[in-house]
A and B are shown apart, each in its own frame.
Chain A
Amino acid sequence: MEQIISSLQQFWQYTGFANCAWANIAMIAIGITFITVAILKEWEPLLLVPIGFGMILGNIPMFPGLNIGIYEDGSVLNILYQGVRQGWYPPLIFLGIGAMTDFSALISQPRLILIGAAAQMGIFGAYLLALLFGFMPNEAGAIGIIGGADGPTAIFLSSKLAPDLMGAIAVSAYSYMALVPVIQRPIMLALTTKKERLMKMPAPRAVTQKEKIIFPVIGFITTAFIVPSGLPLLGMLFFGNLLKESGVTRRLAETARGPLVDVITILIGITVGASTQADKFLTGKSILIFGLGLLSFVIATTCGVCFVKFINLLIRDPKKKINPLIGNAGVSAVPDAARVSEVAGREFDPSNHLLMHAMGPNVAGVIGSAVAAGILLSFLG
């Protein structure tokens, strides 16, 4: 009998109840919130559901030394987590993004590409603020990239510059990407006049297949020569797009934008979520990172809208002026940011469709954030 009680006591020590701390409960609650928001509000469900469940998975209290935790060498979760730690999930996600993105909007109106550059100011604004709050430059760079509104890029850069902060940075980036409509709309409306919001832009010209095929080749060579450190992201992005547009690699393109990107999204979501173990995640730094992440989105949106207003001052022909409501789309949250422009535009004039115009800076933002990540990596790596 004594042996049975002793065995039960020993078993109790292995259970989650015996090892539970308030921090674990808090993180599990956050995970459940993510899942709830994703299902009820449909905010980035493809990302928030795996991340939310990963949070629960990573915060189940357990007896240490069982070699099952994500930070324990050789465990299943640890092996899956290597794709995040070593930074090879993000380029594969970029391959899928390239294979599903239509760059026609950008090719037909190349001038809109500069809006994608202006919105990257969010990255550097957050970098400066993070330095002000006492982060080391490598940490500040990893935090700043949240402003690019690009989850894979944020994971890629933070895995290289500040692996310890990666969980907080990834969750922050994906959370704010899900909240793009909530964050961007009030800023856009505050910075524009009614007259500006009603501005109609001429329909973009039709783009030929030849142009679409040349685009990824020229785009890759140009950007990769300028920022070789962005090679994994830029290379995969443009390669994926070439698979899509070449017309002769349909099966490869379908795999890249379908099963492959789905598998990697599941793995990246669940492992990033599981990496947010309470003892590593619930720190003052994480709260600061969340605050800085929000500010970076605000700066990015502000700079994008203001840049369009500035450009309009230089354009004499009123027909060629750009609606400032597409300025927010310079961040690389594709296509959410462009959708915000469309909704905001139609709110004031139901016949004013801005989606196609906003897709130009939106996809330029993907390129811009990869370039910015490359620069930060080359300076701070």
Chain B
Amino acid sequence: MKRKLIVSIVAFLVASAAAFSQNVIDLIVAEAAPDSTQIDTYGRMSGWIEIYNTSLGTVNLGGCYLTDDRNDLKKSLIPTGYTVAKIGPRQSILFYGSGRGEDGLLYTDFTIERGETIYLVSNDGRTIVDSLVIPSTLPQGMSAQKLPVDNKGIKYYQDDKPADPTPGMRNGSQNAESGSQRMARTDPHGFILTIVAVTVVFSALAILWFLFWLLFERPAKMKANPKPAKVKKAKAGDSNAEVAAAIAMALDLDSNGDVYAAIATALHLYFNDAIHDNESFVVTIKQPSTNTGWNEKTQTFRRMPR
């Protein structure tokens, strides 16, 4: 049972990896038109499907499937091994819905009809990468298409309104406003951008200042100038001055009092972290490393002849 589960998980992972190995996830069914607005290579008029690559890398569509049937995801195979099936960054490819896939690479085995959904299925034959609904009320000569959410053109949504067909062209406004154009319109003198930018630069560095002060400078100062320890009521386990004095007095009974008082005071200071061992700007001698480096790779090298 366990083995079956592991095999299933591995199979699923492999299938998922195969599905997304070529970033087919970046492809979308961008547009579809059921009516004949394009003339194919045979001079026929037929409906078409536009697949668009939203990524900045080339994606190979070979091995993927197109279908109009949710229950038959392998209806129309896009053959592998053809360069034409590779879609460049932010480019699209058109498939003709002739219903005869044998006509060529760019022909589907189904026709495109109103009221159905076009699915793009990955090369595992199971994973639906994207889909586009063709409304049953789509007017003659119009297409169903997806539009970019913003100027970046990475995310798309299906537009409810019928659109004029734009096969092979980027959907949406061809004159998307750039950031510079927007700033020229909204902030022609640049004062708003300057104020915002200066504020952000100062804020970013002020936050860094605060963090470094909090993390580094403050603890260092506290270490350099420790606050005098408050005299507390002695508790079990406390190592305050009274305890130290008590230790010294106890030890005094046996031996020289001065020595033990010094030891006790030192212990007290040590336990209260009041000793400043790491003096600033004092040259110290580094402890020699116990590592002799006898097995380092450099030991096996021959010296260069001089």
* Interface residues, chain A, with chain B CB atoms under 8 Å away: 106-111, 113-114, 116-117, 120-121, 124, 127-128, 131-132, 136-141, 161, 203, 205-208, 211, 214-215, 218-219, 222-223, 226-227, 364, 367-368, 371-372, 375-376, 378-381
Say which residue of A117, A138, A367, A378 sits within 8 Å of B206 (CB atoms): A117
Complex Cα spacing A141 to B184, Å: 12
Which residues, 134 to 179 on B, are CB-close (under 8 Å) to A? 178-179
Closest 9 CB pairs of A and B: A138-B180, A110-B212, A137-B183, A117-B205, A124-B194, A137-B180, A131-B190, A226-B204, A375-B197
B262 in the interface, Cβ–Cβ < 8 Å? Answer: no
> Which residues of chain B have C-beta atoms less than 8 A from A372's C-beta?
197, 201
B: which residues have CB within 8 A of A? 178-180, 183-184, 187-191, 193-194, 196-198, 200-209, 211-213, 215-217, 220, 224, 278, 280-281
Residues on B with C-beta less than 8 A from A371 are 200-201, 204-205
Given B205, B211, B217, which contacts A367 in the complex, CB threshold below 8 Å?
Answer: B205
- CB of A380 within 8 A of CB of B180, answer yes
- Contact at A215–B212, with CB atoms within 8 Å? yes
A205-B204 contact in complex given A107-B216, A110-B213, A379-B183, C-beta closer than 8 Å: no
Shortest beta-carbon distance from B189 to chain A in Å: 6
Q: A368–B200 Cα gap in the complex (Å)?
A: 10
With A117-B206, A124-B194, A128-B190 in contact, do A375 and B201 touch (Cβ < 8 Å)? yes
CB contact under 8 A between A368 and B205, given known A138-B179, A226-B200, A381-B179: yes
Extra 7 A-B pairs, beta carbons < 8 Å, given A117-B202, A131-B189:
A110-B213, A114-B202, A127-B193, A206-B280, A226-B207, A375-B196, A375-B200
Q: Interface on chain B toward A: helix, strand, loop, or mixed SS?
A: helix
Alpha-carbon distance A205/B221, docked complex (angstroms)? 9
Chain A residue contacts of B194, Cβ below 8 A: 124, 127-128
**13 residue pairs bridging A and B, Cβ less than 8 Å apart:** A110-B209, A113-B206, A114-B205, A124-B193, A140-B190, A205-B217, A211-B215, A218-B212, A226-B203, A227-B204, A367-B208, A371-B201, A375-B200
B204 pairs with A222, CB closer than 8 A: yes
Pick the residue among A113, A161, A206, A378 that contacts B208 (CB under 8 A).
Answer: A113
Given A127-B193, A380-B180: A206 touches B281 (CB 8 Å cut-off): yes
Nearest Cβ on chain A to B230's Cβ, whole angstroms:
26
Q: Which residues of B contact A107 (CB under 8 A)?
A: 212, 216
Chain B min CB distance to A349 (Å): 21
* Residue of B178, B205, B215, B224 contacting most chain A CB atoms (<10 Å): B205
Give CA–CA (A113, B205) in the complex, Å. Answer: 6
Q: Return chain B residues, CB-CB under 8 Å to A139.
A: 180
Q: How far is the CB of A198 from chain B (nearest CB, A)?
A: 23
B184 touches A110 (CB 8 A): no
Closest CB-CB distance, B289 to chain A, in whole Å? 13
Q: Does the CB pair A114–B206 fall under 8 Å? A: yes
A106 contacts which chain B residues (CB < 8 A)? 212
| Closest B residue to A109 using CB positions | B217
Would you give the shortest CB distance from B176 to chain A, in whole angstroms?
13
Contact check, B198 vs A120: say whether CB atoms are below 8 A apart.
yes
- Please give, as numbers and ranges, the residues of chain A lying within 8 Å of B188 by CB-CB distance: 131
Tell me which residues across on chain A come within 8 A of B202, comparing CB atoms.
114, 117
Instruction: Tell me the smallest distance from the CB of B198 to a CB of chain A, in Å.
Output: 6
CB-CB < 8 A to B184: which residues of A? 136-137
Separation of A140 and B179 alpha carbons in the complex (Å):
13
Contact between B183 and A380, CB atoms less than 8 A apart: yes
Give the distance in Å from the alpha carbon of A222 to the alpha carbon of B203 in the complex: 11
Q: Which residues of A contact B224 (CB under 8 A)?
A: 205
User: Contacts A131-B188, A376-B197 hold; do A116 and B205 have CB atoms under 8 A apart?
Assistant: yes
Decide: A110 and B217 in contact? CB cutoff 8 A. Answer: yes
Instruction: Please determine whether B180 and A136 come into contact, CB atoms closer than 8 angstroms.
Output: yes
**Which chain A residues lie closer than 8 Å to B217 at the CB level?**
108-110, 205
CB-based contact A222/B179 at 8 Å = no
Interface hub of A141, A367, A372, A379 (most chain B Cβ within 10 A): A379
Which of chain A's residues have a CB closer than 8 A to the CB of B205? Answer: 113-114, 116-117, 364, 367-368, 371
A211–B280 CA distance with the chains assembled, in angstroms? 15
| CB neighbours of A367 from chain B (8 A) | 205, 208
Q: Which residue of B lies closest to A139 (CB)?
A: B180
Residues of A within 8 A of B198 (CB): 120-121, 124
A214 CB contacts on chain B under 8 angstroms: 215-216
State the CA gap A108–B202 with chains docked (Å): 19
Say whether, besides A128-B194, A138-B179, A205-B280, A227 and B211 are in contact (CB < 8 Å). no
Expressed in whole angstroms, the Cα–Cα distance for A203 and B213 within the complex equals 17
| Neighbouring A residues of B216 by C-beta, 8 Å | 107-108, 110, 207, 211, 214-215
Contacts of A128 in B (CB 8 A): 189-191, 194
Shortest Cβ distance from A284 into chain B, in angstroms? 20
